[in-house]
């Protein structure tokens, strides 16, 4: 049976979207999800997302990395799913949906999606890096020569090394541009390569930069390989609340496979 799909991208982080409200998609077929995400033999994407019905909220998000495994939260994927839900007529301009890390509020205006991310209260500050979970685990470290840095090789070393080991972490390399602007390049677990953007990654970078006093701003610009994102937040007693990831999410094409 042929599968109808939609392809979306958010600052170059791209996703196969499937409307699974009728529960027709085989959710346990890891090889099939990896095939659909394969850039040579399939559609090609960093991940695959199912939009499903929810009894209480507007919809449910189910996220898979391009290796075919279901994973933790994807911020850009969440933003793209909001655009997909709007384009399907499931929502209009505001929504509340459930993902693996909990309930998310979001709004959409044209192609700009604002997605509320989880509160963050556990920030591990180490000598040369910060580790935090923004829905997915993120290692954050500075890299002055970020433009010509070998993200794939260095990112893989950190992702597979101690203390992350098999479970792994996403790895973000950061360069400070000004007090409120940072350049970020991310190695993504489950893609096992650099992606052009990572939403939970830039959220982690914005919070890490504030927590380590690299900035005192609470609206941060993040320049990524695929465009520009913004993250805003409030801080109360060391807890980062009201965290919003803001940026474009667009339909690329749709088809059947
Ligand atoms: N691209 C995503 C992150 C997706 C999850 C990650 N690869 C993991 O498995 O931890 C984003 O935009 O947040």
For the record, the structure tokens of 199 come out as 């939403």
Residue-wise pLDDT tens digits, 41-91? 999 999 999 999 999 999 999 999 999 999 999 999 999 999 999 999 999
Distance of CA 136 from the midpoint of ligand 1 (Å): 6
Respond yes or no: is residue 198 known to be catalytic. Answer: yes
Identify the residue whose C-alpha is closest to ligand 1 atom 2: 74
For the record, the structure tokens of 87 come out as 């384009």
Residues 5, 49: Cα–Cα separation, whole Å = 10
Residues 120, 1: Cα–Cα separation, whole Å = 43
Residue-wise pLDDT tens digits, 157-191? 999 999 999 999 999 999 999 999 999 999 999 99
Distance of CA 156 from the midpoint of ligand 1 (Å): 15
DSSP annotation of 54 reads -
Residue-wise pLDDT tens digits, 210-248? 999 999 999 999 999 999 999 999 999 999 999 999 999
Q: Which domains does the chain have, with CATH numbers?
A: 4-104+249-256 (3.10.310.10), 123-248 (3.10.310.10)
**ipTM of this model?**
0.97
Judge whether 62 and 188 are in contact, CB under 8 Å: no
Residue-wise pLDDT tens digits, 2-20? 999 999 999 999 999 999 9
Q: Is 50 in the pocket of ligand 1 (CB under 6 A)?
A: no
Q: Cα 40 vs. chain centroid, distance in angstroms?
A: 23
Q: Is 159 in the pocket of ligand 1 (CB under 6 A)?
A: no
pLDDT, averaged across the chain = 98
pLDDT at 45: 99
pLDDT tier for residue 1 given thresholds of 50, 70 and 90: confident
Reduce the DSSP state of residue 164 to 3 states and report it. coil
Global model pTM greater than 0.95: yes
Q: Is 66 in the pocket of ligand 1 (CB under 6 A)?
A: no
Catalytic residue among 17, 198, 211, 246: 198
Residues 31, 38: Cα–Cα separation, whole Å = 10
Q: Is 203 in the pocket of ligand 1 (CB under 6 A)?
A: no
For the record, the structure tokens of 170 come out as 């996403």
């Amino acid at each position: 049976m042929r599968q109808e799909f939609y392809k979306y991208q958010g600052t170059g982080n791209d996703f196969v979207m499937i409307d699974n409200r009728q529960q027709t998609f085989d959710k346990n077929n890891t090889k099939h999800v990896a095939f659909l995400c394969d850039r040579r033999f399939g559609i090609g994407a960093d991940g695959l997302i199912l939009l499903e019905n929810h009894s209480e909220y507007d919809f449910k998000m189910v996220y898979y990395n391009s290796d075919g495994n279901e994973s933790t939260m994807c911020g850009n994927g969440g933003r793209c799913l909001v655009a997909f839900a709007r384009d399907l007529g499931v929502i209009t301009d505001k929504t509340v949906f459930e993902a693996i890390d909990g309930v998310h509020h979001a709004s959409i205006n044209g192609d700009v999606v604002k997605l509320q991310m989880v509160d963050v209260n556990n920030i591990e500050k180490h000598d040369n890096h910060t580790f935090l979970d923004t829905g997915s685990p993120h290692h954050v470290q500075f890299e002055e020569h970020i433009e010509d840095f070998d993200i794939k090789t260095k990112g893989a070393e950190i992702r597979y090394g101690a203390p992350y080991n098999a479970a792994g972490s996403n790895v973000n390399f950061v360069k400070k541009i000004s007090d409120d602007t940072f350049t970020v390049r991310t190695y993504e677990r489950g893609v096992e390569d650099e992606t052009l953007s990572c939403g939970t990654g830039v959220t982690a970078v914005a919070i890490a930069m504030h927590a380590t006093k690299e900035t005192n701003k609470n609206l941060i610009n993040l320049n990524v390989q695929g465009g520009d994102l913004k993250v805003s937040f409030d801080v109360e007693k060391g807890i980062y609340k009201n965290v919003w990831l803001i940026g474009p999410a667009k339909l690329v094409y749709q088809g059947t496979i």
